[in-house]
Amino acid sequence: MLLITSELLVLVLAIVQAEAGWIDWNYFGLLSLFVQWTTLTSAALICLLRQWLARLTVTKATLSIVTIVLLDVFAFSLFADSVLHPQAGVAVWQGIAKKLLLALLIVLMVLRYFYLQHQWQQQREAEMQSHLTALQARIQPHFLFNSMNTIASLIAVNPDQAEEAVLDLSELFRASLRTVDQLIPLNQELDLCQRYLAIEALRLGDRLTLEWAIEPGLEAQAIPPLSLQPLVENAIYHGIQPRPDGGIVRIEAQSRGDFVYLMVQNPIPDQNDRQHEGNRMALANIRLRLQALFGAPAVLKQSHHNNIYTVTLRLPRQSANSQPATDQRS
């Protein structure tokens, strides 16, 4: 970007400088050589000093970068003018002063551009974090109410199972409150799904049938937290709960080339389902986080075929930084 921008500036100056014709090619060639050398060497010096510059305040870093660029331009100006105009005298210093002034204006504009880019990136990250927090804080009130009723009914007849349900519910709440991690290993998200489904299985009984098809070797695949669990939750509330005979929820994970595909399938929801709007909101929230973290390669899509509703997540193949958990079902 710096090279192209500086070359466009040289082209404009060469057009303005031309006394005959559209462009002064001699001026364009000489100025291009000077500008490209100063641009490349200044960028190289700044890159070499980037760790030191990163520890400074914005004002001090700006002054340091301006000083580096002006010293670089001054050194190249002295060299160029001593070669091209060895006897120019005072005119040499006037030319150098003009180059320094022009370099100062350009570097300030470039730094302003990068500063605005940095601010925009921080704003995007803040918006993404707010979406993550909003989704993670969303534990459905009716799910909590049903879970507590289920646990209360189990205490007298099966206290061990009730205790296990309380532990599963606490893990769900812990995940909803943990907003630090932007990416976690896939098996941690699957473990959360399994805990959620264990609670729902207590309530739905034989109406809920689960199928797992998790390809080995994907345990450390990076995935945003609480991106698969809400899809499983939607499958329960829209595909299983409204049906008197229940149905099958299938969770599948497989790799194809440079991508990992995650699929959640359930019987097609009732068209009159009042919770359909909440389903769209959850999908939109997950899609925004995927785009913010992975960009265009990440895809979330919906489809239905033969009365089976499928939500597919496509993620770029990469490992999460944290260590994967050991508990994994297949």
The mean pLDDT values, 10 residues at a time, for the chain of 330 residues are: 80 77 77 83 89 88 90 82 60 75 84 86 77 59 69 81 84 70 87 87 88 92 87 88 90 93 87 55 79 86 90 91 42
Q: Is residue 328 part of a domain?
A: no
Determine phi and psi for 162, rounding to 5 degrees.
-65, -40
Q: Are strands 208-214 and 247-256 parallel, antiparallel or unpaired?
A: parallel
Considering the domain architecture, whether residues 221 and 274 belong to the same structural domain is answered as: yes
Tracing tokens 């995650």 back to the chain, one arrives at: 262
Query: Where in 191-238 does DSSP place strands (E)?
Result: 208-214, 222-223
* Geometric angle at alpha carbon 24, from 21 and 26, rounded to 5°: 145
pLDDT of residue 330: 36
Determine phi and psi for 212, rounding to 5 degrees.
-115, 130
Find residue 262's DSSP bridge partners: 253, 313
How far is residue 76's CA from residue 222's CA, in Å, rounded to a whole number?
A: 48
Number of domain units in the chain: 2
Q: Is residue 114 part of a domain?
A: yes
Boundary residue ending a domain (65, 99, 127): 127
Considering the domain architecture, whether residues 171 and 300 belong to the same structural domain is answered as: yes
Q: Is residue 93 part of a domain?
A: yes
Boundary residue ending a domain (105, 127, 149): 127
Considering the domain architecture, whether residues 192 and 304 belong to the same structural domain is answered as: yes
Model-wide pTM > 0.75: no
pLDDT of residue 298: 92
pLDDT of residue 91: 60
How far is residue 177's CA from residue 187's CA, in Å, rounded to a whole number?
A: 19
pLDDT of residue 317: 92
Boundary residue ending a domain (107, 127, 147): 127
Considering the domain architecture, whether residues 147 and 121 belong to the same structural domain is answered as: no
Boundaries of domain holding 123: 2-127
Q: Is residue 322 part of a domain?
A: no
Q: Is residue 80 part of a domain?
A: yes
Considering the domain architecture, whether residues 185 and 306 belong to the same structural domain is answered as: yes
Considering the domain architecture, whether residues 45 and 184 belong to the same structural domain is answered as: no
Q: Is residue 324 part of a domain?
A: no
Other beta carbons less than 10 A from residue 127's beta carbon:
12
Considering the domain architecture, whether residues 177 and 61 belong to the same structural domain is answered as: no
Considering the domain architecture, whether residues 174 and 311 belong to the same structural domain is answered as: yes
How far is residue 142's CA from residue 250's CA, in Å, rounded to a whole number?
A: 23
pLDDT of residue 266: 93
Q: Is residue 37 part of a domain?
A: yes
Considering the domain architecture, whether residues 12 and 101 belong to the same structural domain is answered as: yes
Considering the domain architecture, whether residues 90 and 167 belong to the same structural domain is answered as: no
Considering the domain architecture, whether residues 61 and 159 belong to the same structural domain is answered as: no
How far is residue 290's CA from residue 297's CA, in Å, rounded to a whole number?
A: 9
Considering the domain architecture, whether residues 162 and 307 belong to the same structural domain is answered as: yes
pLDDT of residue 329: 39
Q: Is residue 245 part of a domain?
A: yes
